[in-house]
């Protein structure tokens, strides 16, 4: 196996471990056994459990961002829908990685915490950049940050219990964003000018 293929395989086994157990319950020896490698080899790729976890988180944070890249060829509504569908497709293809990213993610560690915050910042900035100026108000950034929390919480709950079809989940995400961006707050001024 090449170095790159081995690293990818270890990250997959890691996502399964960190996505289904709390950080403290993950045993590196057990992960190595499942990957069919020695503890020593695992530590050669990832020097500590924290670094291994951070690598899993970073991989899925980056890939999730790539899979929701807005398509400039589409109009605003279709662009949002396409990004949300890309988000769901990623989550369905990588449920363990997604859980590791947002449920396992221990903010105990300052490195992982910074990584998660940067990831949320990038997502928020991308949505804000894509927003027509007419929709910008003083509460818009808070609305977008709140909505990202909506997305993650509803997605984790849906993974545990997919009570509705994926299309209906994407629709719920769209309605949630519309509910806060399209309806102006009573006492919130525009922030555009």
Q: Which residues bind its own copies (CB under 8 A)?
A: 22-25, 103-110, 113, 138-139, 141-143, 145-154, 157-158, 163-165, 167-169, 171-173, 175-176, 178-180, 183, 185-188
Tokens of 117: 């915050």
- Which is closer to its own copies, CB of 89 or CB of 103? 103
CA distances, 44 to each of 8, 12, 24, 39 (Å): 14, 16, 21, 9
* Least distance in angstroms from the C-beta of 33 to its own copies: 21
- Which is closer to its own copies, CB of 38 or CB of 111? 111
Note the residue count of the chain: 193
For residue 123, which of 177, 169, 64, 189 has the smallest C-alpha distance? 64
* Least distance in angstroms from the C-beta of 56 to its own copies: 14
For residue 105, which of 55, 47, 143 has the smallest C-alpha distance? 55
* Least distance in angstroms from the C-beta of 47 to its own copies: 16
- Which is closer to its own copies, CB of 38 or CB of 179? 179
Indicate the DSSP class of residue 161. Answer: -
- Which is closer to its own copies, CB of 103 or CB of 126? 103
Distance (Å, whole) CA 176 – CA 161:
20
């Amino acid at each position: 196996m090449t170095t790159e293929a081995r690293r990818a395989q270890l990250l997959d086994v890691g996502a399964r471990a960190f996505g289904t157990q709390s950080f403290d319950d993950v045993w590196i020896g057990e992960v190595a056994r499942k990957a069919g490698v020695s503890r020593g080899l695992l530590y050669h790729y990832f020097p500590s459990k924290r670094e291994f976890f951070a690598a899993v988180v970073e991989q899925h944070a980056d890939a999730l961002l790539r899979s929701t890249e807005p398509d400039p060829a589409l109009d605003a509504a279709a662009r949002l829908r396409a990004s949300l569908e890309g988000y769901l497709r990623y989550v369905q293809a990588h449920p363990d990685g997604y859980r590791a990213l947002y449920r396992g993610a221990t903010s105990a560690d300052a490195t992982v915490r910074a990584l998660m915050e940067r990831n949320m910042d990038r997502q928020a900035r991308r949505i804000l950049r894509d927003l027509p100026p007419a929709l910008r108000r003083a509460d818009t950034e808070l609305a977008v940050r709140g909505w990202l929390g909506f997305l993650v919480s509803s997605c984790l709950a849906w993974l545990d219990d997919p009570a509705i079809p994926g299309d209906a989940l994407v629709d719920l995400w769209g309605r949630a964003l519309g509910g806060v961006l399209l309806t102006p707050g009573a006492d919130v001024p525009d922030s555009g000018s």
